Chain A
Amino acid sequence: MKNAMQKIFSWFDERYDVTPIIDFASKKKVPVHRHMIWYYMGGVTLFLFITQVATGILLLFYYRPGADSAYESMRFILTKVNFGWLIRSIHSWSANLMVFFVFVHMFSTFFTRAYQKPRELTWLTGFILLALSLGFGFSGYLLPWNELAFFATKVGTDIAGSVPLIGKPIMAILRGGEDVSGATLTRFYAFHVAMLPAIFTVFVGIHLPFVQRQGMSEPEELAKMGENEKKVMNFFPNFFLRDALLWLIVLNVLLFLAVFYPWDLGFKADPFSPAPAGIRPEWYFMFMFQTLKFIPPHVLVFEGEVVGILLFMLAGLAWALVPFWEIKSKSRGLTHPMTIIGLIALVFIGVMTVLGYIF
């Protein structure tokens, strides 16, 4: 067994000089401290993304985009295709879990101030990946062409259309026309299975190597210690095995959710029927939706909705550029201004999301 492995290794090494890579990999170290659990969050997100790609590709074998065939092909997958129900429910749950862990990963890097020099671009590419994930969620949600998805898309693209100046053209590009129709479905399909995966892969292809090259960020206390005092562990095999363990548990959770809480198909979308009561966006958009509801119809001269959207865009931009405007301070823990800002953001999102479901 070992001989065979060595033979294969040397075959590749002779041709591609793999040794430096192996060297680098074996030397990779991960700092060990009591907050290291957050180190796993990015990996979990990656695992969920891989699950999405795998189940998504499988779904492609049977899904048929088009106002006349999308819903029916979904029904077909759920009822007639072997394990179709499983693949679909895993895909839907994994999508939600991925967005959840993207947020967890982002907030954990924020609160540990991992965005600081030299990791500014890692943060920026990460933010772009977050936006792309939300795009995945929004575009994928429409694909079953059911009632709830249809109206959620209508409301969502309406909001996009209310951005001043560029709003209307953006809405037209999103919708493939004036209204949400079969054309919208076709282009959301193109976004979801081609454009977004390509762009996402490019940015993951930047984000991950950055992390590999620079290594994991350390908390301040650790950075001050000498090299010999720090506790570290090898990435291979120690951290990697722990990662694998966690990924297996996440997979089991996904399976549990898929079997015991299977995803609904709902009713086929009918553009002519009135919107059903209680349409809501998916939970990851809920906080924005609820905030917009709270803003009064008119703020000074401007339309409330427009003000809300612009505020969110500004907030998003500010968040993306955090490494560049960060308020530096000597305070520790909860008194640090960036921690306060982060907590405000976190609480705001949390409270708005919960309120969205109560009202």
Chain B
Amino acid sequence: MKNKVRCTSWLCILITIITMSLLRAEITEKLRTEDKCLSCHQEMELLPADFQDYDIHLQNGLSCAGCHGGDPSSEDPEIAMSPQKGFIGIPAKKDIPQLCGKCHSKIDFMRTFQPGISTDQVQQYFTSVHGKKLNLGDKKVAECVSCHTAHQIPTVKDARSSVYPLNVPATCNHCHGDQQYMEGYKIPTDQFDKYSRSVHGQNLLEKKDISAPACNDCHGNHGATPPGIASVSHVCGNCHVNNLEFFAASPMAKPYSELEMHACEQCHGYHDVGKTFDEMVGVGEQSVCIACHSEGDKGFQSAVEIYTSVKELVNTLDSAHHKLREVQKRGMDDVDISFLLQEANQTLVYTRTLVHTFDPVKINEKSNEGVVKTREATLLADKEIKDYNFRRRGFGIATIFITILVIALFFKIRFMEKKKGNS
């Protein structure tokens, strides 16, 4: 049943792709011959540097005149590019959002191409820092074309798009990482540097996991504004739900907001948020707790207890995994042990998440649960190793019996033949 459904939708997709590509090929072919802007500029090799065939506007029949105005049916440049015919040449930077918005803000127009498409990009843009500065006449700030390019815009899902998740950090960094360019704006230019070292950046840029957050996942797409104090934790909390919920209900939430400290960022950083490690909790050198807490206060004590609980589970799990490897090295059955350890690992993840409650009792409860499960696994592992040794001992005993028998037989034969003279 399932196979049938899969087959059919596969077939549908295949047919759609073929039809669309045929249609698109038709459109671009048609355009190339009928649209005189295209045909002349192509002939004279005067196409813009970023001109690409896969541009989605071109694919859907919107050619040069659609944005630049003019008369695409005329071969005479004076007519084709006359202001009377609406030709605007290269649009001014501050006019670009409105130019794009001419279509992209019109619901009834855009939705003929894609029913669910959003049409508030321009509106959002003008709430952003980029948009506000553009209105004040800033000539360096980003507008539509800065991120999306002008003549090579594929769909967002196309990996060639400058705003495809894997490419977003580089696109933002194009300006924000350029110290000279950003001079005068008084914001740092090391965000990309920090981000590419962060756990999010590593996952996105190196492991190519597009579910990892890029700049726009935290900062927003068109309404790009640096998050405020409360909004940082909300941003993190979009994916790290439990961590946020636990923190918000913890005794740390109130003092943080009173002291105007950024919740998640305070301990984890933001652009350079690294892979968390257990030593961040507790009172050791790498702990984030001792930044505020010192010996004698309740928080210090809690930190010690929390670290102890977590470490107990970690250590128990470590030795259990070591035992598992011993079992595997001996070629004994590791299935049930692995399953239990999988569950115990999950409990460790949960224990570490519970750290954000800053409640030593709750955390200890969970870590004990994990320890119990780990001990179960360790018992199984011990049994397997015992069995391994039993086999060898059993072999030894069997060999002893057989050897006795063999020796006895040997002497019996000798004895028998000596007596009877081999007849």
Contacts and interface: CB of A to CB of B under 8 A. Distances in A.
A144 to B, nearest CB: 15
A267 interface: no
Interface in A171-207: none
Given A248-B406, A256-B395, A259-B391, A241 B331 contact: no
B264 to A, nearest CB: 44
A80 B332 CA distance: 11
A255 B399 contact: yes
Contact of B402 (A241, A242, A252): A252
Nearest to A32: B422
Nearest to A259: B395
Contacts of B406: 245, 248-249, 252
B409 A262 contact: no
A255 B333 contact: no
Nearest to A80: B333
A152 B423 CA distance: 52
B392 interface: yes
A219 interface: no
Interface residues of A, number: 23
Interface string A85-103: 1100000000000000000
B52 to A, nearest CB: 38
A252 B332 CA distance: 23
Interface string A222-256: 00000000010110011001101100110110011
A76 to B, nearest CB: 10
B413 A245 contact: yes
Contacts of A129: none
Contact of A233 (B331, B394, B405, B422): B422
Contacts of B422: 231, 233, 238
A237 B416 contact: yes
A244 B409 contact: yes
A248 B331 CA distance: 28
A131 B409 CA distance: 35
A238 B417 contact: yes
Contacts of B395: 255-256, 259-260
Interface string B403-423: 101100110110011000011
A1 B267 CA distance: 89
Nearest to A240: B413
Contacts of A242: 413
Interface string B182-213: 00000000000000000000000000000000
A245 to B, nearest CB: 5
Contacts of B410: 245
Contact of A241 (B398, B403, B409): B409
A325 B413 CA distance: 42
A251 B413 contact: no
Nearest to B332: A79
A78 B333 contact: yes
Interface string B328-343: 0001110100000000
Contacts of A79: 332-333, 335
Interface string B144-183: 0000000000000000000000000000000000000000
A308 B235 CA distance: 72
A255 B413 CA distance: 25
A251 B332 CA distance: 24
A248 B413 CA distance: 15
Interface of A: 78-80, 85-86, 231, 233-234, 237-238, 241-242, 244-245, 248-249, 251-252, 255-256, 259-260, 262
Given A79-B332, A252-B402, 4 more contacts: A80-B333, A85-B391, A241-B416, A248-B409
25 contacts: A78-B333, A79-B332, A79-B335, A231-B422, A233-B422, A238-B413, A238-B416, A241-B409, A245-B406, A245-B409, A245-B410, A245-B413, A248-B406, A249-B406, A251-B402, A252-B398, A252-B399, A252-B402, A252-B403, A255-B395, A255-B399, A256-B395, A259-B392, A259-B394, A262-B331
